[in-house]
Amino acid sequence: MTQKTAIYPGSFDPVTNGHLDIIDRGSKIFDRLIVTVLENPRKNAVFSTKERLDMLKLILEDYTNVEVDYYQGLLVDYAEQKKAQVIIKGLRAISDFEYEFQMAMINHKLNPSVETMFMMTNSKFSYLSSSIVKEVASYGGCIQGLVPDSLYDLILSKFQADIKCDTIL
Ligand code: PNS
């Protein structure tokens, strides 16, 4: 039987609990899941590529069928190289749909043998994005519950904000 491999691509700037939820669920469906940091030409990353990879590796070290990787180039070319049949994308809200639909269509045109599959976010993370995490942290707001606990220090050090968490999110 062919091994089913999926790619979960993103800029992960930084990885959030919403991403982690998709990775966790995806790892139970596919034999092999590759979480790949790619550059999004529409965004300027705040965290370096190494920082983004280090954060992912730290939180995913216990997943035996999940790998972390980086690629510069077209996602479908990468999927072909890795012999992946599926690209996983997470959807939070209708507002994500238009952009993700366009991406799925262009990726299909570029390589019809790679299928895009969408997973709905867990409703408790429907408001969560990397941009929101950065905005909250930059003003010294509490990011507890938004990102894995083991990443607080790295994320906070980037913003040099004095963050106090006195509410449980
Ligand atoms: O987390 P993001 O920023 O929404 O991820 C977007 C990403 C990095 C997956 C997307 O920009 C991407 O696939 N970049 C690689 C270049 C590419 O293949 N683009 C799609 C065809 S134009």
Mean pLDDT of the chain: 93
Contacts of 138 (CB under 8 A, 6+ apart): 159, 161
pLDDT at 93: 83
Catalytic status, residue 134: no
pTM tops 0.85, yes or no:
yes
What is the domain range of residue 114? 5-126
pLDDT at 167: 56
CATH number of the domain to which 112 belongs = 3.40.50.620
Q: How many separate domains does the chain show?
A: 1
Residue 64 forms part of a structural domain: yes
Residue 95 forms part of a structural domain: yes
pLDDT digits (tens, 9 = 90+) for 79-98: 999 999 999 999 998 888 99
CA of 10 to the centre of ligand 1 (A): 6
Q: Is 45 in the pocket of ligand 1 (CB under 6 A)?
A: no
pLDDT digits (tens, 9 = 90+) for 20-52: 999 999 999 999 999 999 989 899 999 999 999
Residue 73 forms part of a structural domain: yes
Which residue's CA is the closest to the ligand 1 atom numbered 5?
Answer: 10
Residue 50 forms part of a structural domain: yes
pLDDT digits (tens, 9 = 90+) for 85-141: 999 999 998 888 999 999 999 999 999 999 999 999 999 999 999 999 999 999 888
Residue 81 forms part of a structural domain: yes
Contact between 69 and 52 (Cβ < 8 Å): no
Residue 157 forms part of a structural domain: no
Instruction: Report CA dihedral (118, 67, 46, 48) to the nearest 10 degrees.
Output: -150
Residue 135 forms part of a structural domain: no
Residue 70 forms part of a structural domain: yes
